[in-house]
Amino acid sequence: MELIPGFDGTPLAVHRMGAGRPLVLLHGLFSSAEMNWIKWGHAATIAEAGFEVIMPDLRVHGASGKPHDPAAYPGDVQAKDLAALVAALGLVDYDLGGFSLGSRTSVRAVIGGLTPKRLVLGGMGLEGLAGWTGRQAFFIDAIDRFDSVRQGDPAYYTVQFMKSMKIDRVAARLLLGTMTDTDPAALATITMPTLVVCGDEDRDNGSPDKLAAALPNAVHAVIPGTHMGCVTKPELGRTIRDWLAG
């Protein structure tokens, strides 16, 4: 693990595995590179196919910085951090992917000017981009009611996951305020080959079919599982590997 400065100098923990063509993989909300990509073997599966898998802990997550200063959270802060990371690593010919929040960050970064050769969007549907503010309100509410949420509450499993990942709630709430809806028309600018991969029981971020249809050069792959569950299954890593290696 190494620390690389984000756009404003906030340290970003970066994990690497394998050697070969660079693939930057971004994890989901309240997760980490370890939990999303390493623990369940996805990074190893992809690395064994001849890739260097580069996995940052996004700002507020894992071993990366968690500033409490609101000035550290401008709009699209994670896309700004990603651009800084790509520049710091000198990446020119590389692929980019993510899961859930990582997918959203990837989309925002590409719309903002990043040019990976290929793109992987995991755990994401069209509504998770175009209608993000509904999900945003759900997560902010979970943080605000953190100590009073009980089993049976819709926010219960989100709160339990935050507890297990030891999420800094002050920083997380600031981070959530940096995200906004993505105009579906902007997806037309994402012209590189794109894999949309989503669990067959996962509609947390809306319809992956609609997302694939809205992108100029996308395919949709279905794997087993729910939004949280598919991350624990080998099909996620295998599907990404097979598409990238194809």
* Backbone φ, ψ for residue 121 (5° rounding): -120, 105
**pLDDT of 43 above 90:** yes
Report DSSP state, residue 37: I
Fill in the amino acid letter for 102: G
Residue 200 CB coordination number (10 Å): 12
Report DSSP state, residue 38: I
- Domains in the chain, start-ordered, CATH in brackets? 2-245 (3.40.50.1820)
Q: What is the mean pLDDT of the chain?
A: 97
Question: Each residue of 68-82: pLDDT tens digit?
Answer: 999 999 999 999 999
Mean pLDDT for 162-180 is 96
**Distance (Å, rounded) from C-alpha 195 to C-alpha 106?**
12
Question: Each residue of 75-133: pLDDT tens digit?
Answer: 999 999 999 999 999 999 999 999 999 999 999 999 999 999 999 999 999 999 999 88
Asked if residues 122 and 240 have their Cβ atoms less than 8 Å apart, the reply is yes
Rounding to the nearest 10 degrees, give the CA dihedral for residues 128, 198, 26, 218: -80
pLDDT for the residue numbered 132: 87
Mean pLDDT for 218-230 is 97
pLDDT for the residue numbered 99: 99
Mean pLDDT for 126-154 is 93
Percent of the chain with pLDDT over 90: 98
pLDDT for the residue numbered 133: 85
Mean pLDDT for 135-162 is 94
Q: Are strands 95-99 and 51-56 parallel, antiparallel or unpaired?
A: unpaired
Mean pLDDT for 138-163 is 94
Would you mind telling me the total number of residues written for the chain in this entry? 246
CB within 8 Å of 96: residues ≥ 6 apart = 23, 24, 26, 106, 109, 110, 114, 116, 118, 119, 120
